[in-house]
Amino acid sequence: MFFSDVIWVVVFICFCLHRVSEFKTEEKIHRDSDGIPEFIRNIACRNGAYDMAGVLDSVNQLTELVGQNRMELLLFHLNGRKQRYGINVFKVREVLRCPHLTVMPRLHKYVCGVAHIRGQTVSIIDLGMATGAPKIEDLSKAFVIIAEYNRSVQGFLVAAVDRILNMNWSSIMPPPKGVGKQNYMTAVTEIDGELVQILDVERILDEISPINTEVSDSVVQETARTTKEINIAELPVLVADDSSVARRQVQKSMEAIGIHCLLAKNGREALDLLKEMSEKGPIEEQLLMVISDIEMPEMDGYTLTASIRNDPALKDIEVILHTSLSGIFNQNMVKKVGANNFIAKFNPDELAKAVRDVLKTKQGQAAMNL
């Protein structure tokens, strides 16, 4: 009796996961702690059985997806606006109807309350209000996108969710020139003849709760000792990130340890700059390293890294992937594309220490060549 009950429970779970994969608005998307979304896990269910080999195959499939400069975009609507917006599915833990919210004193005006979700207290941000749209008054019809950015979990309140699309990063472009610096776009793309905006969520979160970008005195002093007797630190670091806020955060951390930065808005722009530099002479004599985001329009960080490794003039450059994405997929891709390190956003000390380690390596190489 117990065994038959278990079988029925497993069959019911697989059925639910299958429904999630269709992504109707009343269902949820849930991402487990290992970074594998439940709507991907349904691929692993065969005849009511849970097959770990199938899960690993699913991981490999998504790894291939990202490695081909592709991504999956979750489309949604904000209150009072007909157009659609997008967020990378890799950052989404789940999507659910707005739960009961508890209003607490002295919350930021864009935070409409907190919710208790899966044993965790999560701040719920009205994404429309944060970008200038009207406040959602009827929460019973709204949805919450639970996402992970910069090592923390937030809920984004939206008016409706639409669907998930598999896209190539090359079809996602930087914001049009002339829109000004105050917009909240990090990229745009065309879907069904309609312009879809991908929001700069890192900027929105920084306005609500600014991230500490100060490097600790101990790290600054140790880095200074490392570079005291050599001129390696005079070489710049190339920072590639589509978020203006993220670029400034990295730049400030690098300047704190005496490192100058070259800035690029996406992988394509970064690669073009690297190739231009390599035509002038050995790249290692002009650049210390590359720090790249993963999610970027035109060319993502994985494709940028793979392109660097496949270019004889660039292949020896140190590359750190620095992103708010996390989980098993990133770790697999770091190894596959040949990045030297992976650091989750945003901890200024961790980033500074990683650069300091590169300086130590360069210092050792310089000493051997004396």
Q: State the alpha helices, DSSP H only, in the chain.
A: 2-22, 38-41, 52-67, 127-130, 201-208, 217-227, 244-256, 267-278, 301-309, 328-337, 348-368
Q: What's the Cα-to-Cα distance from 176 to each of 124, 186, 189, 264, 309, rounded to whole Å?
A: 30, 10, 11, 16, 31
Report whether CATH 3.40.50.2300 matches the domain 217-368.
yes
Average confidence (pLDDT) over 50-74:
54
φ, ψ (nearest 5 deg) of residue 47: 55, 40
Q: What's the Cα-to-Cα distance from 354 to each of 12, 144, 201, 320, rounded to whole Å?
A: 47, 35, 25, 8
For residue 321, give both structure tokens. Answer: 């992937």
What sign for the dihedral angle of Cα 236, 237, 242, 247?
negative
Q: What's the Cα-to-Cα distance from 40 to each of 35, 74, 327, rounded to whole Å?
A: 10, 14, 14
pLDDT band at 211 (very low <50, low <70, confident <90, very high): confident
Return residue ranges of the chain for CATH 3.40.50.2300: 217-368
For residue 20, pLDDT over 90 is answered with no
pLDDT digits (tens, 9 = 90+) for 262-314: 999 999 999 999 999 999 999 999 999 999 998 888 898 989 999 999 999 99
pLDDT band at 130 (very low <50, low <70, confident <90, very high): very high
Higher pLDDT, 207 or 230: 207
Contacts of residue 5, defined as CB under 8 A and 6 or more positions apart, other chains included, come to none
Question: What is the rounded CA–CA span in Å between residue 186 and residue 139?
Answer: 27
CATH number, span 2-208: 2.40.50.180
The Cα angle at residue 301 between residues 296 and 307, in degrees rounded to 5:
125
* Max Cα distance, the chain (Å): 77
For residue 22, pLDDT over 50 is answered with no
**Are the C-beta atoms of 245 and 203 separated by less than 8 Å?**
yes
pLDDT band at 180 (very low <50, low <70, confident <90, very high): low
| CB-count exposure of residue 180 (10 Å: 0-12, 13-18, 19+) | exposed
Question: What is the rounded CA–CA span in Å between residue 312 and residue 306?
Answer: 12
pLDDT digits (tens, 9 = 90+) for 223-276: 777 766 555 658 899 999 998 889 999 999 999 988 999 999 999 999 999 999
pLDDT of residue 26: 35
Stated pTM of the model? 0.73
Return residue ranges of the chain for CATH 2.40.50.180: 2-208
Lowest mean pLDDT among 276-280, 327-331, 352-356: 327-331
For residue 319, pLDDT over 90 is answered with yes
Average confidence (pLDDT) over 213-217:
89
Average confidence (pLDDT) over 105-119:
92
Question: What is the share, in percent, of the chain residues with pLDDT greater than 90?
Answer: 41
pLDDT of residue 327: 53
Output Rg (C-alpha) for the chain, integer angstroms. 22
Amino acid at 236: P
Residue 25 DSSP SS3: coil
pLDDT band at 320 (very low <50, low <70, confident <90, very high): very high
pLDDT digits (tens, 9 = 90+) for 67-108: 567 778 899 999 988 899 998 887 888 899 999 999 988 899
